[in-house]
């Protein structure tokens, strides 16, 4: 990657929403904001030399307004303020390495998937308190989408519907089918199983072939 001073393998790349010529790029030894036109680093977000041995992200997504990023490494997700480069919260609820990660295109809700696990997170409280210097630790998701099977998840998308009501629609594709889940985010992690969205609550289920 020209201009980075590094020849290590790129692990993840995500274009900014409003500045398509810029991208977040994570390699094995650094995580940077990169200008694709000038082929130069704009800002170094994390250098492995300064990351206390923590792994750099293998999945990245950017919020609709380019203000925040979510970064996955193994079973953990970090929410970052891109104006300050500060990590705001760490989300840990998966039992397997995360393979899919995405913000909703119109809000800060985001979805993560690993193996047959699919979790919805609402980082609203951490974004509001984004001036804090402490990293919040989150171990319970806002919602768990129960696919009622062990099929591997191949793709996930998420969209908030309504007028700021935190109601969302999520499409979860597995090797067998695509299911559409429709529910309301509580804004905080629920307890006693109340955060689980089961298949019978789905708006529609799309089979692999027409019936």
Domain count, the chain: 1
Q: For the segment 15-27, what is each residue's pLDDT rounded down to a tens digit?
A: 999 988 999 999 9
Q: Please check whether residue 191 lies inside any domain of the structure.
A: yes
Plot region of 79 (φ>0 → left; ψ -120 to 50 → alpha; else → beta): beta
Q: Please check whether residue 1 lies inside any domain of the structure.
A: no
Q: Please check whether residue 85 lies inside any domain of the structure.
A: yes
Q: Please check whether residue 86 lies inside any domain of the structure.
A: yes
- Mean pLDDT, to the nearest integer, of 139-150? 83
Domain, as residue range, for 172:
10-206
Q: Please check whether residue 79 lies inside any domain of the structure.
A: yes
* CB contact at 8 A, 54 and 28: no
- Mean pLDDT, to the nearest integer, of 139-159? 86
For 188, the 3-state DSSP assignment is coil
In whole numbers, what is the pLDDT of the chain averaged over residues?
Answer: 82
- Mean pLDDT, to the nearest integer, of 114-122? 92
Distance CA 57, CA 73 (A): 5
Q: Please check whether residue 5 lies inside any domain of the structure.
A: no
Q: Which is nearest to 82 in space by CA: 102, 100, 59, 62?
A: 62
Distance CA 12, CA 72 (A): 10
Percent residues over pLDDT 70 in the chain = 79
- Mean pLDDT, to the nearest integer, of 158-186? 83
**pLDDT value for 182:** 85
Q: Please check whether residue 146 lies inside any domain of the structure.
A: yes
**CB proximity list for 183: less than 8 A, separation 6 or greater:** 120, 143, 167, 168, 197, 201
**pLDDT value for 26:** 94
- Mean pLDDT, to the nearest integer, of 127-131? 70
Q: For the segment 44-71, what is each residue's pLDDT rounded down to a tens digit?
A: 998 865 555 567 899 999 999 999 999 9
pTM above 0.95, yes or no: no
- For residue 184, what are the CA distances in angstroms to 114, 165, 174, 188? 22, 8, 23, 11
* Higher-pLDDT residue of 146, 159: 159
Q: What is the CATH number of the domain that holds 96?
A: 2.130.10.10
**pLDDT value for 201:** 47
Q: Please check whether residue 211 lies inside any domain of the structure.
A: no
């Amino acid at each position: 990657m020209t201009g980075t001073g590094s020849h290590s393998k790129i692990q993840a790349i995500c274009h900014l929403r409003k500045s398509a010529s810029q991208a977040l790029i994570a390699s094995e030894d650094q995580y940077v904001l990169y200008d694709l036109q000038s082929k130069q680093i704009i800002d170094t977000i994390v250098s492995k030399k300064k990351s206390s041995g923590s792994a750099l992200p293998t999945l990245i997504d950017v919020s609709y307004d380019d203000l925040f990023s979510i970064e996955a490494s193994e079973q953990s997700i970090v929410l970052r303020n891109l104006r300050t480069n500060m990590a705001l919260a760490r989300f840990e609820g998966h039992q397997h390495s995360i393979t899919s990660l995405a913000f909703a295109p119109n809000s800060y809700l985001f979805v993560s998937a690993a193996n047959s696990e699919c979790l919805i997170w609402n980082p609203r409280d951490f974004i509001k308190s984004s001036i804090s210097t402490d990293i919040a630790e989150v171990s319970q998701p806002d919602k768990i989408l129960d696919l009622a099977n062990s099929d591997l998840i191949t793709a996930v998308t998420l969209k908030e519907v309504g007028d700021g009501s935190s109601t969302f629609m999520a499409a979860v594709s597995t090797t067998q089918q695509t299911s559409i889940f429709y529910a309301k985010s509580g804004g905080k992690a629920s307890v006693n199983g109340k955060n689980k969205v089961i298949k019978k609550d789905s708006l529609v289920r799309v089979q692999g072939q027409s019936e």
